[in-house]
Amino acid sequence: MPVNWKDHIVSSPDVLKGKPRINGMRIPVSLILGYLSAGKSHAEIMEEFPEITSVQIFACLDYARDLSEYELAA
């Protein structure tokens, strides 16, 4: 599912010490990615966090993909 993570993921220094999080929530992207890496399904995550949508979960994955493609300047 194509999702523009920039529509759903934000970071601000005054919330969660600037960690990327789902917009409008205090749920860090790293928490959702941790659930996914532990084998949790979208449905299980949404059951745990009823305010999260499937699109927001896909946005977390898209954010991680973009981050992994980032190249450090030598």
Kind and range of the H or E run holding 9: strand 9-10
Domains of the chain: total = 1
Residue 53 inside a domain? The answer is: yes
Q: Nearest 5 degrees, angle CA 33-CA 38-CA 44?
A: 80
Terminal alpha carbon distance of the chain: 34
Alpha helices in 5-53 (DSSP H): 29-37, 42-48
Task: State both tokens at 29.
Answer: 């992207």
Is pLDDT at 74 greater than 80 in this prediction?
A: no
Residue 74 inside a domain? The answer is: no
In tens, the pLDDT along 44-72 reads 999 999 999 999 999 999 999 998 887 65
CATH code of residue 11:
1.10.10.10
Q: Give the number of other CB atoms < 10 A from CB of residue 1.
A: 9
Residue 44 inside a domain? The answer is: yes
Q: Report pTM.
A: 0.88
In tens, the pLDDT along 6-50 reads 999 999 999 999 999 999 999 999 999 999 999 999 999 999 999
Task: Give the domain range for residue 39.
Answer: 5-69
